[in-house]
Amino acid sequence: MQRLLLIILVSFFFITSCHKSTPKGILPEQQMVELMTEVHTIDGYLNTLPIDSSRRVIDGLYGQVFAKYNLDSISFQQNVSYYLGNAVKAKGIYAEITKNLRDYENVYRKEDSLRNVVLSDSIRRVNYFEKQKEEAHKLIFEYPKDTVAYNHLEAFASVMERLGIRVDNPKPSVAIPSVSPEVQPLMEENNSEPIALDSVSPRPIRQLRPERIVQ
């Protein structure tokens, strides 16, 4: 009988301790996970700053997080002490915190790799246009002198080739004017009979005499 009573009392205290209510001011486990994830993120950011810079921003960063969860430094410490006092809860909470931090890191790496791709592509474009600019400057101002007769079509093709632009059989775009059928016979007639210089006599210029002034 006494043994049965002892078993009942032990069971009662065990059940009571398991169903013990959460103290006032303690955050739920999920909110505690989110809080500690943000705290560890801030810690990582502060570690990248110089000591003087971190001292200037540390209060503001932690203050924003505490205000988000309606905490201050004292209530924050109470929450940490409460969950660290329970080994089972602390293990589960920090497992979720670690998972969140890894997810954030993976997202950051993907975004950083995309930024690096865009940056490297921009650098390649700048280098390409700088090279084209130097080539154009050399072709204009540093072109070597040559004794061969200048051919503008060959020079144009050479410039395009050095700039990486292919030109097949460049031809001049200047059109030769055509002659209408009405004018063609007149041209042939004029060309067949050259004008003799002897047949052209200069027209005499009338000499002007001053008029007599009547007094």
Q: Delimit the domains of the chain by residue range.
A: 24-121
**pLDDT above 60: residue 71:** yes
Cα separation, 28 vs 77, whole angstroms: 15
Cα separation, 57 vs 50, whole angstroms: 11
CB atoms within 10 A of CB 11: 10
What are the pLDDT digits (tens) for 72-112? 989 999 999 998 888 888 889 989 999 988 888 888 777 76
Q: Residue 101 in contact with residue 40, Cβ under 8 Å?
A: yes
What are the pLDDT digits (tens) for 155-187? 777 777 777 776 666 555 545 455 556 655 555
**What's the whole-number average pLDDT of the chain?**
72
